[in-house]
Amino acid sequence: MTRKPPLHTAKTVPLGCSRMRSMFLFYICYLLSLFLGIVCVVFVSYWNSYWRGGFAWDGSALQFNWHPVLMVTGLVVLYGNAAVLYRIPLTWSQNKLPWKLLHAGLLFLALLLSILGLCAVFDFHNAKNIPNLYSLHSWLGICTIALFAAQWTLGLAAFLLPCSPLELRKLLKPIHVWMGSIIFTLSIAACISGINEKLFFALKGNTNETKPYSMLPPEAVFANSLGVLIIAFGLVVLKILSNQRWQRPEPGQEEESSEPLLGRDR
Q: Average model confidence (pLDDT) for the chain? A: 88
Q: How confident is the model at residue 5 (pLDDT cuts 50, 70, 90)?
A: low
Dihedral, CA of residue 28, residue 29, residue 34 and residue 35, to nearest 10: 70
At residue 265, does pLDDT exceed 80?
A: no
Domains in the chain: ranges and CATH: 30-248 (1.20.120.1770)
CA–CA distance, 80 with 185 (Å, rounded to integer): 10
Give the whole-angstrom CA distance, residue 137 versus residue 207. 26
* C-alpha count within 13 angstroms, C-beta hemisphere, residue 262: 8
pLDDT of residue 167: 86
Determine the pLDDT at residue 112.
Answer: 98
Q: Are residues 66 and 47 in contact, defined by beta-carbon separation less than 8 angstroms?
A: no
Is residue 264 very low, low, confident or very high in pLDDT (cuts 50, 70, 90)? Answer: very low
- For residue 97, pLDDT over 50 is answered with yes
Question: What is the tens place of the pLDDT at every residue in 237-258?
Answer: 999 999 989 988 876 533 444 4
pLDDT of the residue at 93: 85
Query: How do residues 15-25 score in pLDDT, each as one tens digit?
Result: 668 888 889 99
**Does pLDDT of 188 surpass 90?**
yes
Percent of the chain with pLDDT over 70: 87
Confidence of residue 94 (pLDDT cuts 50, 70, 90): confident
The mean per-residue pLDDT over the stretch 162-187 comes to 92
Tell me: pLDDT of 45 over 70. Answer: yes
Whether 208 shows a pLDDT value over 60: the answer reads no
pLDDT value of position 109: 98
Q: How many CA atoms lie within 13 A of 227 on its CB side?
A: 17
pTM of the model: 0.87
What amino acid occupies position 179?
Answer: M
Total length of the chain: 266
Indicate if the pLDDT at residue 60 is higher than 70: yes
Mean pLDDT of 49-76: 97
pLDDT of residue 4: 54
Q: What is the pLDDT of residues 115-146, one digit of tens each?
A: 999 999 999 999 999 999 999 999 999 999 99
